[in-house]
Amino acid sequence: MLHHGFVRAAAALPRLRVADCSFNAAQMLHLMDDAERQGVHVLVFPELSITGYTCGDLFHQTSLQRAALDTLDDLMLTAESRYSGVYIVGLPWAVRDQLYNVAAVCQKNRLLGLVPKSYLPNYKEFYEARWFTPGLRVTEERGTWGRSQQREFRLATDTLFADARRPNVCIGVEICEDLWTPIPPSSQQALAGAKILVNLSASNEVIGKAGYRRQLVTNQSGRCIAGYVYASTGVCESTTDLVFGGHGIIAENGNILAESPRFQRENLLVVSDIDVERVHNDRQKTNSFSDSLSQHGKPFRVETFTLDRSPTRLVRAVDAHPFVPRADDQLSERCGEIFHAQVAGLAKRLEHIGKPAVAIGISGGLDSTLALLVTCKTFDALGVPRDKIHALTMPGFGTTQRTRGNALALMSHLGVTARTIDIRALCCDEMRALGHRPFGIELDGLTLDAFTAKLQEVPADERNDLIFENVQARMRTSLLMNTGFVVGTGDLSELALGWCTFNGDHISMYNPNVSIPKTLVKFLVRWAAKNEFTADAQKTLLDIVATEISPELLPTGADGLLTQATESVVGPYELHDFFLFHFLRYGAPPEKILFLAEHAEFDRKYGAEEIRGWLKMFLKRFFANQFKRSCMPDGPKVGSISLSPRGDWRMPSDAMAEVWLGDE
């Protein structure tokens, strides 16, 4: 895990007795044992977890202060043999007549540093300024402490904590109210290099506060481009007028990875894996992050530790279909947002050029169906009759009755101007002019029917003829270009793989599908069928969703059925979209993509070697086909990934793939 940039973090929510330091330490040790079993690298306890947060004026009692220090000393001695990761606990710490609310960052029997709470709430139910001094007032305090041995300490707000061998594993610490301020300390810690931000908290429960707290943690992790571990004290802290529920949250880059239930009465550990390599990659890409560093950054001292063990399996979920939300409500919302973004983009282009008639090729497949649905809704939005949409279905040698029938039915249901042009004779004429003998068949003197019959006799393993396929694809584009403003249909996955004919289906005047991955297209068509179109069209649309993906450029069999399945040639689109997401979105190297694929929920459909083989094909095709992406038509960016040479992706057309293939 550490090799691939994953750090296992946990928010620990222990049982507690107010002012009973020994009892509290015993609960911490139980959770440390659990954390060690689970391979946790960074373990975060709540604010003032050794004493309890609600001690009130007891904080000024020397007995409690001394007990807290002695308990930390004992805890560290015991942790030497029981927990190997970094653990962060809270306690009061007195220095030169001032008392601070601090986080003690430790590993085994070593105190790495003390970070004081910078901002003390002293409003409503909070009275912390009565007992503690704000950390903002201290630059640095040093001294010695310890009952078992003389230990040195450094108390300061300018300290980060990093793995000596893996500098990306860098931790910044803040305490409760610090996060609620306009500029939290974690913001500057992130600018200084902290990839994992932790918060020791004692946040009481009132109506609505849990949701706000969740937003704060999530937003700070996104704003700082970081992992964030939040541990707030539990129900045992409840006393006098306050109730605490315990809240553990682990977030990364604006997304919650794990969250605890509240109001639990037993010890609880909330565990997930933070990807610091992903954080690092996102910060590199986001230039405004480094601009903020130049404006607001300040120097930090770095104390080091060493993580010497790492689990091999992730506990965080790895989504096999990262472009497709799992929850039905989220998927529906995503589809609606994308569909209307497609409509908005196409509408702007058509409005700009005078709302002309458009031409679109309809195959009866997913991509052209989605593009046609978008075009229809665009014309509706612009107040232009749908009969100005010239939809052409152009059956060729590989067209099946199913797809042709669906294309004709769809055009009829949608009320567009429909036309059928059989391109077979035109393609034969072009191949004769080129002197091409498809599959070794001499065309001269053959009728179309005779040629079609000979095609069906070609053995399946000999059906390889790129010219035969390209002539059909380019013939269709030529007919469309001479009909009107061409709306494109190809999707993001096809562009990534180069699975399109240059100057064929690769070219259009505007392509609303250009940044939509194949795995999402069918969900968009299904969503549109159920939400945007009448029942007459729904049956046809749902049958199109169920149709096997194929360019239908190779001859059908003697039975008229499909003989060319895209995924049997280039591989499963769900794998390629998985590769594409992690390769482009986070710059993951091939070995990490394989590691993630091993943990993804592909229902055990693929073995490790099969995934490796398809990844190798993805990389080869991705690098070999950049020239097609360098001149792709305009189209709307609707998600986090786009291959537009004018937008997200600028790559030389002749770059070599060897570095990535060697890494894999």
Say if CB 173 and CB 200 are below 8 A apart: yes
To which H or E segment does residue 11 belong?
A: strand 6-13
Beta-ladder partners of 44: 11, 88
CA 276 to chain centre: 14
Give the strand pairing for 301-305 and 255-259. Answer: unpaired
- SS3 of 232, please? strand
Q: Is 236 assigned a catalytic role?
A: no
Cα dihedral 161, 165, 169, 174 in deg (nearest 10):
0
Q: How far apart are CA 329 and CA 335, in angstroms?
A: 10
Q: How far apart are CA 583 and CA 578, in angstroms?
A: 9
Q: How far apart are CA 5 and CA 604, in angstroms?
A: 25
Nearest to 551 by CA among 519, 509, 513, 506: 506
Structure tokens at 464: 């390889």
Q: Is 637 assigned a catalytic role?
A: no
Catalytic residue, candidates 21, 55, 106, 176: 176
78 Cβ contact list (under 8 Å, min separation 6): 29
Name the E strands within 108-150. Answer: 110-116, 141-145
Q: Which long-range contacts (CB under 8 A, 24 or more apart) does 404-412 make?
A: 404/364, 405/364, 406/364, 406/540, 406/543, 406/544, 406/547, 407/362, 407/363, 407/364, 407/368, 409/540, 410/362, 410/364, 410/369, 410/372, 410/537, 410/540, 410/541, 410/544, 411/362, 411/372
Q: How far apart are CA 117 and CA 74, in angstroms?
A: 23
Nearest to 250 by CA among 267, 265, 272: 272
- Return phi, psi of residue 20, to 5°: -105, 85
Q: How far apart are CA 361 and CA 407, in angstroms?
A: 10
Say if CB 22 and CB 35 are below 8 A apart: no
Catalytic residue, candidates 21, 106, 117, 574: 117
Q: Is 298 assigned a catalytic role?
A: no
Q: Hey, which residues are catalytic here?
A: 47, 117, 176
